[in-house]
Amino acid sequence: MTEGCQVALVLSDYIMPDIKGDEVLQRIHKMSPDTLKIMLTGQANLDAVGNAIKYSRLYRYVPKPWQSEDLKLTVVEALHSYLQDQKVIQQRKQLEIMNQKLQELTRNQAKIIAEQTAELKEINAELKAANTKLKEANEELEQLAILDPLLPIANRRRFDEYLKQEWARMCRERRYLSLILADVDYFKQYNDKYGHQAGDRCLIAIAKTIQKSLRRPADLVCRYGGEELVIVLPNTNPDGAIKVAETIQEEIALLKIPHFRSKISDYVTISMGLASMIPIKGVSPSMLINVADKSLYQAKNNGRNCFFWRSFNCCLMKNNSSVND
């Protein structure tokens, strides 16, 4: 019997020439531990049987004299037991292989999940950055949509939206809404004298000055068209609007922008038309614009470089005024 060979059953007598059966079984057990061993003995040698059980994993010992049928049944039973044990061993090996494969799959799956998670995190970070850029771009577009392309103030579109918004709000709150329409005096002559680039710089300086003159966040200056600017003053009564116009006129005078083609001054001046009312439901905001426009027309007829306030019942021309309410 060579080491590593598969032997199902060994039947050994205890008494043999030169060697005893329990020693033979021990040697066989070292070479093939799974082999079942049956020892035949005619002597009641319990020590030998004990050694065989302890060192050889003796399956059974059969004392002499034995019946051939009993020995046959014992051998058949042992073979069945061996085959069953081998089947269990084979199943265990298959389970071990399956477990190893499962563990490998689990490790691979964990690796794939980790890689995909890292990719998802990277994608999410890229999406977040893209969304941030998109938000910034949208905000920039929104600003571009409401800002004048030349002057650092809101454009006509923003004016129309804001006037409608504040008209509705003041109507709900039953508060005054005032409007100032401003026009640069003899601006065409200024452009003819100094050129259009100088005219642009002049308008920019005036727009910044008016913007600086406004004290409240809700007050808004917009470009109305050409050299005309419009100021929306929510929650501002007539006295407050007159005060704002006075402040603007004083600040423009401090600029001292030369204008030698002007018929009323050596420096750039503006004329302003004022209108104030508590908005009424069902009345269009354009009514306030029309009143301010008529006030501006009257200011020009009165010699320019002044402002004119018009109510719906009377007209009042002023060169000085009180505080913004």
**What DSSP string runs through 100-138?**
HHHHHHHHHHHHHHHHHHHHHHHHHHHHHHHHHHHHHHH
Q: Do residues 8 and 36 touch, judged by C-beta distance below 8 A?
A: yes
Find tokens 């071990």 and name the residue.
Answer: 96
SS3 81: helix
Active site residue 104: no
Tally the C-alpha atoms within 13 A of residue 21's C-alpha that lie toward its C-beta. Answer: 25
pLDDT for the residue 220: 97
Model pLDDT for residues 7-32, shown as the tens digit of each residue: 777 766 766 777 777 777 777 777 77
Strand order in the sheet with 220-225: 220-225, 228-234, 177-184, 270-277, 307-310, 315-318
Low-confidence residues in the chain, pLDDT < 50? 313-325
Q: Which two tokens stand for residue 61?
A: 């010992």
Q: Which two tokens stand for residue 144?
A: 């571009």
SS3 23: helix
pLDDT for the residue 174: 95
Residue 179: partners with Cβ closer than 8 Å, 6 or more residues away: 163, 230, 231, 232, 233, 241, 274, 275, 276, 288, 289, 291, 292
Tell the burial category of 265 from Cβ atoms under 10 Å away from its Cβ (0-12, 13-18, 19+): middle
Around Cβ 82, how many Cβ atoms within 10 Å?
A: 18
Q: Do residues 245 and 307 touch, judged by C-beta distance below 8 A?
A: yes
SS3 182: strand
Residue 152: partners with Cβ closer than 8 Å, 6 or more residues away: 204, 207, 208, 211
| Sign of the dihedral defined by the CA atoms of residues 295, 296, 299, 305, in that order | positive
Catalytic residue, chosen from 119, 139, 140, 227, is: 227
pLDDT for the residue 319: 37
pLDDT for the residue 5: 65
pTM equals 0.60
Q: Report the alpha-carbon distance of residue 52 to residue 61 in Å, rounded.
A: 9
pLDDT for the residue 295: 96
pLDDT for the residue 312: 55
